[in-house]
Every structure is written in C-alpha cells, then in structure tokens.
Structure 1
Amino acid sequence: MKGTVAAMIEPMKMEYQEYDIPYPERGAVILKVTRTNVCGSELHIWRGHHPTKKQGVLGHEMVGRILRIGEGVETDYAGQLIKEGDRVAAVYYQTCRKCEACLRGEFPLCENAYYFWNKSPVDKPHFHGSFATHYYVHPNQYFYKVPDNVPDIVAASANCALSQVYYGLSKAQLTYGETVVIQGAGGLGLNAAAVAKEHGATVIIIDSVETRLKHAKDFGADYTINLNEYNTVEKRAEYIRSLTHGKGADVGLEVSGVPDAFSEGIHLIRPGGRYVSIGNVSPGQITAFDPGLLTRKSIMILPVVRYEPWYLHKALNFLSKTIDKYPFEKMIDAEFEFGNIQDALDKSASRQVTRASIVMS
C-alpha cells in the first residue's frame, strides 16, 4: 500500500511524491490524514524564513484515523483505549525525555523536537508531515483521541493553534476579571479570545482586517481595534487605557507574527503586567524596542515556543465543552483538495484567506 506526500523542494516550490506506507515500530501509530490546515508557521517556512526547515513535508495541524498500531500501544497518552479507525490528534513534535531540556522538565524545548519533521521524505518512515495522505506518529510523540462531538473541521486546529494559546495564557496566569489584549485575529487570535473569555477575562483584539475583527466578536472579544482607524501606537495605547481605567491591559498576547507588534506590546500593558510572545518565530526579523519602558513598567515577557504536550488533551476537552458556544467551524474560511496545497499556501500567504484547510478525499 502506498501513500503520497506534498514535499517542498525549496521555498515556494512543491511536488508530490509516492512512498510505501510503513508498518509502525513498537510504540508508534500510523494515521490516515482526514484533514490538515495551513498554519502561520507553514507560511514562514514556505517563504524561506524558518531557521532550519528549508525543504521536506510541511503540515502539522491535523486530525486523522488510526490505520495501523505498533506493538505495545493500547491507549493514547491520556490512558484512553484505542483501536484502528479511531480519530486522533497528535502533538506536532516529539518529546525525547533524554536531552538536557527534557531532563529539566522543559518538554516544549526538547532538543530533538523536530528530529523527524526536518527529515527528507526519502528517509523512512517518509510521512513526517501532515501535508500527506498518511502521518507517522513516533513512539516519543504524544497523541490523544478526539471527542465524538468535535468534528474534523474543528479538531484539526487543536494540536497547534488552540493548544499553543491555551498554554501561553496559562503561563501568563490569566485570571478571572483581568483584561487581555490580543494582537492578531487569525486562527491563534480567535482561539485565544475564546480561551480568555472562558477564563472570565475582558478581551480586546487588534487587527487590520475588519472581517476578522467582526469574527472575533463571535469568539468572545469585548472590544476590537482596527489598525487602520487607530493608526499609531499612541492611539491604540490611549484607547486601551480608556477601556482599563487608565492603566492598560493586564496581559498581552502577540500572535500576529509581525515584529513591530512585539515592540508595541509593552505600550499596551499596565505596569507589572505580563506579555506573551508567540507569533514571531523567524529569527533575524528586527524591530525597534524601548528597554527603558519595559524596565520602568516592570513587565514580564514570556516567549512561548510549542507547548507542554498534555495541553493538546486540554484543548480537545475545551473544544468538547464549548463546541456549541463558539463557531469554531467557521474559523476555516477556505477548503482545498490535496492536489491544491500550493494554492492554499499562496492564498494564505497573500491573506486572501484567513484559515485554509486541506480536506482528504
């Protein structure tokens, strides 16, 4: 039995390749991909901005059905019994539990997190990314069953966008009654708005696309700020102070991927506040920054890369409990066939679509 991968030969160039579907080693699982999304980090790679991944199979936001189960695997990482045909979502990186970072308990910083994802599809087991008909879940890769009431169109976003912002807001220790300002109303920002609202926070969200801002209201945003209307940092900061008794937001969350958004963040937050940086993942993209203001305001900056793997389980449970409260399925505004992945990437990069999803036949 053979499967197909969509391999990036070089930035902005892709071709389809066919390989034998391997039998899983002990502790591994093979999935048949049912849906996978174009995430913002894929766009960084597609443009050639990623520090290490310059070719190979892209894709990591996904959901699939178990095709083959390796020896010794009886449950997912939450102890739930599994069988062939079950829907699961996998954490998109591995946790080796042997490197210095893992030994410190810092699983998101595992030094071998992308050991397989960075491989060429020529290297077995071939199916290293989710832009493919199949996906190989390695023995050191957490995975969880998808609740029955969470459809594929919603579940596919759980293992990156939702888990990432859930973890980021947890690190910021967002509590009931606080105010959070979210920079960016894409998939990460919309998920973050819902998570923050469920924490009992007042939610302010910033973007330049009015349709995104209208959509943010459906995900719990109390206030929206259009960058075209409030067209300077000073205007945006002043407006946020007017909404927060003259102080500024308690927590800031940057998920725009724009370097200047990071330097702006400390202007929007109250003295003693917390600022979470998630969106800027491409080294070498520079912005001017005011370190004196940071010190004077004593703001805590929390850079977040990846997430603790069990947050995927938390994210799936979050979706199950709030599936009728927020229009998660409407977060995907464009669907593409497997043969049109390059079109999905190009239209996402040009912001013609907010969240593109690849649906397998």
Structure 2
Amino acid sequence: MLGEIAVMTKPGELEYQHYEVPEPGPGALVLRILQANVCGSELHIWRGHHPVKKRGGIGHEMVGVVHALGDGVTTDCAGEPLTIGDRVVATYFQTCLRCPQCLDGQYNLCDNAYQFFGQQPEVAPHFHSGFATHIYIHPRQHYYRVPDNVPNAAAASANCALSQVYFGLDRIGLRDGDTLVIQGAGGLGLMGVALAKTRGARVIVIDGIAQRLVQASELGADHILDMNDYPAASDRIAAVQALSAGRGADVGMEVTGVPEAFNEAVTGLVRRGGRYLVMGNLSPGFTIPFDPGLLTRRAVQVIPVDRYDGRYLHKALRFLSDYQGTFAFDKLLDSHFHLRDVRLALDKSARREVTRASIVIE
C-alpha cells in the first residue's frame, strides 16, 4: 500500500513523494491522518527561517486513526485501550529520557526531540510529518486517544497550539484575577484566550487581522486592540495601560513571531514586576535593539518556552472535551484544503489571506 507525503525540497518549493506504508515495530504505531493544520511553525520553515529544517516533510499538528499497532501496544500513553480505527493525536517530537535535559526533568528541551521528525522522507520508515496520508509514531512519542465528543477539527489543534499554550501558561503562573495581554491572535493566541478565561483572567488581545479579533472576542476576550487603530507601539502601550489602571498587564504572552513585540511588552504592555511568556519568536538571527537596564528597572520576569512536556497533550484533550460546549474550537479553522493543495494553503497562510488553514486528508 502506497502512502503520499508533501515534501519541501527547499523553502517555498514542494513536491510529493510516495512510499510503502510501513508496518510498525514493537512499541510503535502507524496512523492514517485525517486532518493536519498549518501552524505558525510551518510558515517559519516554509519561508526558510528555521535554523535547521531546510527540506523534508512538514506539518506536525494533526489527528489520525490507528492504521496498525506494533507488538505490545494495547493502550495509549494514559492507559486507555487502543484498537485499529481509534482516533489518536500524538506529539511530533519524542522524549528520549536519556539526555541531560530529560534527566533534569526538562522534558520539553529533550536534546533528541527531533530524531525522527527531522529525518528525510527517503529514510525508512519515511512517514514523520503531518502533511501526508500516514505517520509513524515511535515508542518515545506521546500519543493519546481522542475523546468521542471532540471533533477532528478541534483535536487537530491539540498538538501543538493548545498543548503549547497550556504548558506556557502553567509555566508563567497565570492566576485568577490576572490581566493577560496576548500579542497575536493566531492559533496559539486564540487557544490562549479560551484557557485564560477558564482560569479567571481578564484578557486583552492585540492583532491586526479583523477575523482573528472577531474570533478572540467570540472566545471571551474582554478587550481587543486592532493594530490598524493603534499603529504605533506607544499607542498600544497607552491603550493597554488605560485598561489596567495605568500599570500594564500582569502577564504578557507573545505568539506573534515578530521580534519587535518583545520590546513592546517589556517597555510597557506588561506592568512593572509582571511576567512575560515568549513562545512565538523561534527563528534565531532576527535581532532588535534591546535596553537591559530598562528590563532590570521594570523587573519584568521573562520566561521563554520551547515546545512542551508531551504529557500536556493529554491535558489538552481533556480541556477540549470538558469545554466542547463552551467554546467553538472547530470554528477556529476557517479554510480547508486537500493534501494536493498544501502549497496553496501555506502561501495563503503566509500572506495572511486565511486565518487558520487545515489540510483535510480524508
């Protein structure tokens, strides 16, 4: 049986490759992919901004059904029974449990996280990316059965948008009564709105795309700031401070991928002594002028977060299941494309012609 993979031959260029769908080894499984989303990380890779990945299979935020189970696999990583045809989400990275970071309990920083995700499709077992008909899940990856009440469109966003934000907000210690300012209302930002509202936070969202701001408002954002109405950083800082008794937000969350956003938050979006979660700027080499003395004087605690602890994927699924009737998670995807239209989905997403694109394989 032949499977198909969308392969980036170089940034901005795509071709399709075909390989026999492999049989899983002991402790592994193979999924048939149902739906995979275009995440901001894909756009960094597609534009050539990723420090390492310059070619290969792309796509990592997806949901699939069990195609084959390797010897010894009878349950998911939470102990739930697993059979052929069950819907599953899995981390795109592994946790090796052997590197210095894993031994120190920093599982999200595993040195060998991309051992398989970084492999080229020419190397067996070939299928390690989301924009494909199948994906091979290795024993050190986290995988969980999708609750029955969670639709595919919502489940596909569990990894990585929801899991990433869930992990980040736990790391930054978002509390009941905090004011949170979110820079960017893409997939991570919108999931951040939903999570923050369930924790009793007051949420301010900044973005320049009208549809994203509408979605943020529908998810419960208390205030939205359209960058078209507040074009300068000073305008946005003044607006956020006006909404927070002249102080600034208790917590900031950067999910824009725009380096200038960092200075904007440290300068005044976030209050003196506040906390700042940085997750969107993940392409090294893009620099900005920075005033370390100002950071010291304002005493803003900056916490960068790279990836997430794989166990948070299970937390994300439970959140989706518990709040399925509260938030229209599946409506956050506004454009759907066929596997053969991956290039179109990436290009439209990069030009911001769509809010959040999804590749529907089945």
TM-score, normalised relative to structure 2:
0.98
**Which residue of structure 1 lines up, in the alignment, with residue 256 of structure 2?**
256
**Which residue of structure 1 lines up, in the alignment, with residue 357 of structure 2?**
356
Alignment map for 1:326-345 (pairs within 5 Å): 326-345=327-346
**Which residue of structure 1 lines up, in the alignment, with residue 150 of structure 2?**
150
**Which residue of structure 1 lines up, in the alignment, with residue 98 of structure 2?**
98
Aligned partners of 2:211 and 2:355 also within 8 Å = no
Superposed CA RMSD in Å reads 0.8
Return the offset for 1:276: 0.4
Alignment map for 1:134-145 (pairs within 5 Å): 134-145=134-145
**Which residue of structure 1 lines up, in the alignment, with residue 288 of structure 2?**
287
Question: In 2, distance between residues paired with 1:138 and 1:193?
Answer: 32
Equivalent position amino acid for 1:263 in 2: N
Deviations 1:59-107 (A, max 9, x none): 1000000010011111111111111110000011100111111111111
Return the offset for 1:209: 1.3
Return the offset for 1:325: 1.1
Matched, 1:247 2:247: yes
Matched, 1:56 2:56: yes
Alignment map for 1:314-329 (pairs within 5 Å): 314-329=315-330
**Which residue of structure 1 lines up, in the alignment, with residue 309 of structure 2?**
308
Partner-residue secondary structure (3-state), 2:141: coil
**Which residue of structure 1 lines up, in the alignment, with residue 78 of structure 2?**
78
**Which residue of structure 2 lines up, in the alignment, with residue 126 of structure 1?**
126
Return the offset for 1:246: 1.6
Equivalent position amino acid for 2:227 in 1: L
Deviations 1:31-59 (A, max 9, x none): 00000011000010011110111111001
Question: In 2, distance between residues paired with 1:215 and 1:131?
Answer: 26
Question: In 2, distance between residues paired with 1:113 and 1:271?
Answer: 36
Return the offset for 1:232: 1.8
Question: In 2, distance between residues paired with 1:73 and 1:314?
Answer: 21
Flag as ranges the 4+ runs of structure 1 deviating above 3 A: none
Deviations 1:193-230 (A, max 9, x none): 00000010000000011221121101110001111211
Question: In 2, distance between residues paired with 1:76 and 1:211?
Answer: 37
Question: In 2, distance between residues paired with 1:224 and 1:28?
Answer: 44
**Which residue of structure 1 lines up, in the alignment, with residue 229 of structure 2?**
229
Return the offset for 1:115: 1.0
Alignment map for 1:192-207 (pairs within 5 Å): 192-207=192-207
Question: In 2, distance between residues paired with 1:234 and 1:46?
Answer: 32
Runs (5+) with no aligned partner, structure 1: none
Question: In 1, distance between residues paired with 2:26 and 2:108?
Answer: 24
Partner-residue secondary structure (3-state), 2:310: coil
Q: Which moved more, 1:285-294 or 1:4-13?
A: 285-294
Question: In 1, distance between residues paired with 2:154 and 2:346?
Answer: 19
**Which residue of structure 1 lines up, in the alignment, with residue 185 of structure 2?**
185
**Which residue of structure 2 lines up, in the alignment, with residue 169 of structure 1?**
169
Percent identity over the alignment is 54
Runs (5+) with no aligned partner, structure 2: none
Partner-residue secondary structure (3-state), 2:81: coil
Partner-residue secondary structure (3-state), 1:91: strand
Return the offset for 1:270: 1.0
Question: In 2, distance between residues paired with 1:334 and 1:262?
Answer: 30
Return the offset for 1:327: 1.6
Return the offset for 1:288: 2.0
Equivalent position amino acid for 2:151 in 1: P
Equivalent position amino acid for 2:137 in 1: V
Return the offset for 1:324: 1.3
Alignment map for 1:11-90 (pairs within 5 Å): 11-90=11-90
Question: In 2, distance between residues paired with 1:12 and 1:94?
Answer: 27
Question: In 1, distance between residues paired with 2:82 and 2:100?
Answer: 32
Question: In 2, distance between residues paired with 1:344 and 1:111?
Answer: 31
Question: In 1, distance between residues paired with 2:269 and 2:294?
Answer: 11
Equivalent position amino acid for 2:302 in 1: I
Equivalent position amino acid for 1:81 in 2: P
Partner-residue secondary structure (3-state), 2:92: coil
Equivalent position amino acid for 1:335 in 2: H
Question: In 2, distance between residues paired with 1:210 and 1:18?
Answer: 40
Deviations 1:141-174 (A, max 9, x none): 0001101000001100101001111111110110
Return the offset for 1:336: 0.3
